[in-house]
Amino acid sequence: MASQQPSLAILVRAPDGFTVWPGPPYPPGSSPPQRLPKTACSATSFSSDGSRLLATVASASATVYDCSSLSVIRSFDLPGLTAAALSPTGSYLQTFQKSSSPQVKNVTVWHVDTATALYQHYQKNLSKANWPMVQFSADESVACRMATNEMQFFDTNDFTKGIVYKVRLPGIAALQLASAPGSHVAGFVPEAKGVPASVQIFSCDKDAQNQVVARRSFFRCSTVQFHWNKGSTGLLIVSQADVDKTNQSYYGETKLHYLTTDRAFEGIVPLKKEGPVHDVQWSSSGSEFAVVYGYMPAKATIFNKKCNPLHELGEGPYNTIRWNPKGRFIVIAGFGNLPGDMAFWDYSEKKLIQKAKAEWSVISEWSPDGRHFMTATTAPRLQIDNRIKIFDHTGSLQFIKEFEKLYQVDWKPESPERFGDIAELTISLNGIKIEETKKQVSGQGSKSAQTSSKAPVNVAAKPAGAYRPPQSKHTAALQDKLFGGLAPTGGEMSKTALRNKKRREKQKEKKAGEGSSADDS
């Protein structure tokens, strides 16, 4: 490991553009400095290795920055631009432009440094399942794309050769290339005419291109999510059906399947609780994976790569799991429509460190060095109470900043191996912890003036603008149903509940009186 560790950085995008902050810790009471003046854009993203940054303006242009100096490497004028993506090391830029006819090739692979168009083809539709059109391995030695009934491979040393070989897979609807290394590729074929859906794994070796390495078939599946491990030896598949035939879930039915490239395991992951698969993530080593699953309160379990359970992380209102890049710490949390509970675990010690809360969070991720955990509430998912929170690895809140509107926040990727162990820098984080307290609201000034200038200082924990349905405040039965009995319930009944109880008692007394009168007559 090099003696000079890389510095952390955070990308922040708001309505007035994007900027880059240096990473934490930040001096108490200060706002992070901007390494780059705010620049107008409609979307931003880092390359997987964090060396380059892409900023696009819809229907107009794409600009690639060098992340070390934040200087512009190359800018592309692209009329009708709809989507763009960088390859893992930032060598190639892939763009999708609106096209009026099939004769106009609207998908282009560019060489960033020379601004040369290396490969072009026509694509009618753009969707989450087929973008980026060309997938790369982490070292960009393998590149492939999904086409009608086949997977097509390129020579990354010379894209001008076009398609160099193909793997035939009739009915293919989704593809996922293993990235580290790019040794295998998985293809998904939906069920049709009574034939079950299937996932098949092929070798990327040209000499073994049509030999199926592993295969799994299943019914009741319309879409899948692929999760390759580091080493490309194991593939987790979350299969989802639009309709749950047991009628227990409005959101359909999900199952977790597992395939290994050595065929040591081909089957369903043995989960101990019925219900949906909320989230799954591999450890940084690729030898274990964690799953959050089941009806609320959901269960969290860690398995080894032989699919044997290793450790239980308990139950709670959880739907998210985030494994620390260094492999030692784990956060399980309940975001989205759940109340934002978080549990910080030390996996090496097999113990719960601390519980915390980050209400209304949309984004959550560990920093590359594994020392900080960031959550964010962003638009358009939520139009109010947009904010960034940063916790340390033990769950102590370190930083809060609020925004009138926040679209995106991301850590700049770095290799975790470039950072030292967490114990080396924990001393520097002591004394920075802050507490959330109620904001003192004055009658003067707008919300933006109150929240944008200084952070982290006494930021509101629960602003009054958030909506809460009346039932969730007063009905203990509903809280038990939603949160598995984990939501706190008060001992006193609300005014509405008391009023309803008195009305029911009066009705019972009235009926009893009418019954006794009828008996006397």
pLDDT 10s digits, 314-366: 999 999 999 999 889 999 999 988 999 999 999 988 999 999 999 999 999 99
- In the chain, residues under CATH classification 2.130.10.10 are 133-268, 274-421
Cα–Cα distances (Å) from 502 to 473, 477, 495, 509, in that order, read: 20, 19, 11, 11
Measured from the Cβ of residue 114, the count of other Cβ atoms closer than 10 Å reads: 9
Tokens encoding 151: 């997977």
In this predicted structure, which of 165-179, 248-262, 282-296 has the lowest mean pLDDT?
248-262
Q: Answer yes or no: is pLDDT of 500 > 70.
A: yes
Percent of the chain with pLDDT strictly greater than 90? 53
Q: Answer yes or no: is pLDDT of 463 > 90.
A: no
Across 454-465, average pLDDT: 39
Q: Answer yes or no: is pLDDT of 462 > 80.
A: no
**291-298 long-range contacts, Cβ below 8 Å, gap at least 24?**
291/256, 291/321, 292/318, 292/319, 292/320, 292/321, 292/332, 293/256, 295/248, 296/482, 296/483, 296/484, 297/483, 297/484, 297/485, 297/486, 298/273, 298/334
Q: Answer yes or no: is pLDDT of 398 > 50.
A: yes
**Cα 226 from Cα 93, distance rounded (Å):** 23
Cα 418 to chain centroid distance, Å, stands at 23
Question: Quick one: pLDDT at residue 258?
Answer: 94
Q: Answer yes or no: is pLDDT of 470 > 70.
A: no
33-63 per-position pLDDT tens digit: 999 889 999 999 999 999 999 999 988 999 9
Q: Answer yes or no: is pLDDT of 245 > 80.
A: no
Task: Tell me what the pLDDT averaged over the chain comes to.
Answer: 82
Question: Quick one: pLDDT at residue 455?
Answer: 37
Beta-strand pair 372-377/43-46? unpaired
Q: Which residue has the higher pLDDT, 116 or 443?
A: 116
The confidence band for 508, taking pLDDT boundaries of 50, 70 and 90, is confident
Q: Answer yes or no: is pLDDT of 476 > 80.
A: no
Residue 404: exposed, middle, or buried by beta-carbon count in 10 A (0-12, 13-18, 19+)? middle
Q: Determine the CATH number of domain 41-129.
A: 2.40.10.480
89-141 per-position pLDDT tens digit: 999 999 999 987 878 899 999 999 999 999 998 888 888 878 899 999 999 99
Q: Answer yes or no: is pLDDT of 307 > 80.
A: yes
Q: Answer yes or no: is pLDDT of 482 > 60.
A: no
Tokens encoding 480: 């038990």
- b/e for 376-387, b at 16 or more Cβ within 10 A? bbbbeebeebbb
120 touches 71 (CB < 8 A): no
What are the beta bridge partners of residue 266? 259
Question: Quick one: pLDDT at residue 495?
Answer: 61
Q: Which amino acid is at 43?
A: A
DSSP assignment of 397-444: EEEEEEES---EEEEPP--GGGS--GGGTHHHHTT-----------SS
Q: Answer yes or no: is pLDDT of 426 > 80.
A: no
Q: Selecting from 2.60.120.10, 2.60.120.260, 1.50.10.10, 2.130.10.10, what CATH number does the domain 274-421 have?
A: 2.130.10.10
Taken as a whole, the chain contains a residue count of 521
User: Full-prediction pTM beyond 0.75?
Assistant: yes
Topology of domain 133-268, CATH: Methylamine Dehydrogenase; Chain H (2.130.10)
**Cα 241 from Cα 254, distance rounded (Å):** 6
Cα end-to-end distance, the chain, whole Å = 97
**Cα 500 from Cα 506, distance rounded (Å):** 10
260-296 per-position pLDDT tens digit: 998 888 889 999 998 899 999 999 999 999 999 999 8
The confidence band for 497, taking pLDDT boundaries of 50, 70 and 90, is low
In this predicted structure, which of 3-17, 196-210, 412-426 has the lowest mean pLDDT?
412-426
Q: Answer yes or no: is pLDDT of 77 > 70.
A: yes
Q: What are phi and psi of 501, to 5 degrees?
A: -65, -45
Q: Which amino acid is at 308?
A: N
Tokens encoding 20: 């880059």
**Cα 304 from Cα 30, distance rounded (Å):** 44
Across 394-419, average pLDDT: 92
153-163 per-position pLDDT tens digit: 999 988 888 88
Cα–Cα–Cα angle for 384, 387, 389, rounded to 5 degrees: 150
Measured from the Cβ of residue 278, the count of other Cβ atoms closer than 10 Å reads: 23
- In the chain, residues under CATH classification 2.40.10.480 are 41-129
